[in-house]
Structure 1
């Protein structure tokens, strides 16, 4: 005959209760051995490859070289090493080269879209030429030290907020809108160009320098994006050539600046990816039944 103790009922099997209070016979902080069966470790941790991270870092060093080339052209123009005629020829050459690259690499670039771009650029250049006298006298009451400090600050903001992944770059025919940070980055580069142009000796200098700066800051990311989409090997080759050209131009400008810039390129391309891979070893993530519940709605007609 089975013995039963009066007043004591057998405990029911423990189960997780989200809303329903305590289960009878168990403490409110009790957890069963089966509670950790659904535990998952490092489910969302991305395994990164050193080679892939280094290849992704090329986009950053590439754009750093582009901005460095713009600064070098500004410097040589302020020192009267580059005259307005040479700079105008450089502007035309860059414009033709950019459209040639787009024609060869962009898949959705039609003649109609190309003619639309040319018309918009002609209006843009006409407006820039008309506004050149205003830019020429825009900062006459501001000291040069303030202009250079503000220009450097704006370029740092531009580099810090620039979209290096290319996710906000609109290829020909696309309708996606840029983000707030990319707009701030672009506006910072334009304001920096205006500040530098206001210190040039003539209105034609202002026009050619502004045209060069805006071509690079507005047009270069699109061209680089199209090259990368067309062929990644071509993208790597172009980036390597761009780094060599940039270093060769910086070297006669200032030796210490050459060493610092070369060290920055090495740091971004090799040291930063190595750090990222090493830090991933210490990343530890635990997921389980204690995480916040995700509601799933099954809508049936």
Structure 2
């Protein structure tokens, strides 16, 4: 018996991996030998992030948050008739000239692919702006070279439409047609062209992007402090949370990420299509 068992063991075919659960004679379906874990790789696709790099990347979010805060401040001052229509039109022309000057100086060859009572109006406008901020494309993927066939994302379109509807709601409370025209022109300039301008500055010079962002934050905090102290505190808390707390959390959470890859994973097909 023992001799027969030994011969049977010696004659047993060597185990090998068979795709799609192929059965091998003499082995159980769930059998694995010592070579099965040799191809195991841990944390192969885990990206190691640096705290400073994450904080710098978050500047784009804080930058656009300040832009929206400036728009809200301008809306408030206009509704309170602190800014009249002539001043607002001058601001529109100035922003338009500055925007085109930045585009010319940075030579950025890109195009953008986009498109009741006072309390209830303000509530709806704030809600739409929150939707705009939440769905806004902070990576700049909606800004593509001319001739690109990629269509803008649905979220980007919803974000832009939400900002325009919020602008219309605020404009409906103004006393004159010229006021309405000026505030709508101002809102369209900011929401349509601000992402393009900031993207071009970032591509043109990284340190200029950081300098512009910090200057924008200081100017926005100064305006909001003069407008309303609670608005100032809320904006300052958001900027600290986005630029410091969130990157710190991301780095800390990364320490607990554990990923295992090996021969048990499904095969990934890669196609190399060349023209």
Counterpart Cα distance in 2 of 1:194 and 1:298: 48
Match of 2:183 in 1: 209
Seen in structure 2, the aligned counterparts of structure 1 residues 276 and 297 have a Cα distance that, compared at 3 Å, is closer
Pairwise CA distance, 1:177? 2.8
Match of 1:130 in 2: none
Match of 2:50 in 1: 49
Matches within 5 A, 1:100-139: 100-108=101-109
Seen in structure 2, the aligned counterparts of structure 1 residues 96 and 274 have a Cα distance that, compared at 3 Å, is same
Seen in structure 2, the aligned counterparts of structure 1 residues 249 and 204 have a Cα distance that, compared at 3 Å, is same
Matched, 1:246 2:206: no
Pairwise CA distance, 1:253? 1.4
* Higher mean C-alpha displacement, 230-239 vs 10-19: 10-19
TM-score normalized by the length of structure 2: 0.91
Counterpart Cα distance in 1 of 2:54 and 2:91: 34
2:246 to 272, 289, 292: 272
TM-score normalized by the length of structure 1: 0.83
Match of 1:80 in 2: 81
Counterpart Cα distance in 1 of 2:30 and 2:141: 47
Pairwise CA distance, 1:259? 1.3
Matches within 5 A, 1:177-216: 177-216=151-190
* Higher mean C-alpha displacement, 212-221 vs 3-12: 3-12
Instruction: Give the conservation status (yes or no) of the 8 Å contact 2:21–2:29.
Output: no
How many equivalent residue pairs? 266
Q: State the secondary structure of the residue aligned to 2:258.
A: coil
Q: State the secondary structure of the residue aligned to 2:29.
A: coil
Match of 1:68 in 2: 69
Q: State the secondary structure of the residue aligned to 1:261.
A: helix
Pairwise CA distance, 1:149? 1.5
Match of 1:293 in 2: 267
Seen in structure 2, the aligned counterparts of structure 1 residues 39 and 190 have a Cα distance that, compared at 3 Å, is same
Seen in structure 2, the aligned counterparts of structure 1 residues 27 and 298 have a Cα distance that, compared at 3 Å, is farther
Unaligned residue ranges in structure 2 (runs of 5+): none
RMSD after superposition: 2.2
Seen in structure 2, the aligned counterparts of structure 1 residues 294 and 239 have a Cα distance that, compared at 3 Å, is closer
Matched, 1:237 2:211: yes
Counterpart Cα distance in 1 of 2:270 and 2:92: 56
Match of 2:237 in 1: 263
Pairwise CA distance, 1:145? 2.5
Counterpart Cα distance in 1 of 2:118 and 2:199: 36
Counterpart Cα distance in 2 of 1:297 and 1:57: 34
Instruction: Give the conservation status (yes or no) of the 8 Å contact 1:170–1:222.
Output: no
Pairwise CA distance, 1:261? 0.9
1:147 to 104, 121, 124: 121
Seen in structure 2, the aligned counterparts of structure 1 residues 19 and 236 have a Cα distance that, compared at 3 Å, is closer
Counterpart Cα distance in 1 of 2:263 and 2:144: 42
Seen in structure 2, the aligned counterparts of structure 1 residues 13 and 167 have a Cα distance that, compared at 3 Å, is same
Seen in structure 2, the aligned counterparts of structure 1 residues 284 and 252 have a Cα distance that, compared at 3 Å, is same
Counterpart Cα distance in 2 of 1:170 and 1:294: 29
